[in-house]
Structure 1
């Protein structure tokens, strides 16, 4: 009985750690996506400033 309780606690701890790892991974992915969006906006702005927008769209 005690061994079963210990196994259940260990399983709960493992699940908790996995959930935390997934949350951290999701947060990192969201940060990376935000960074890519900012870089894309800067690139589009640079293209417009350089007057290359029309040649790229054709």
Structure 2
């Protein structure tokens, strides 16, 4: 028994429609409500910076006690 192999017939119009159909499901950000990314970021100090700040705080407390 013979089998017929039929390839997909895609036209440029079909390919364009298929691409739009898929991309229509992706919500696009609205330009009116856009805010700078910096508004959502915060600076997190490194572990070394935290240790340095703690050292400076303790050092200043000890200097005050020595001064008294």
Q: TM-score range by the shorter chain?
A: 0.3 to 0.5
Structure richer in helix, relative to its length: 1
Structure 2 length as normaliser, TM-score?
0.34
Structure 1 length as normaliser, TM-score?
0.40
Greater relative contact order (Cα < 8 A, sep 6+): 1
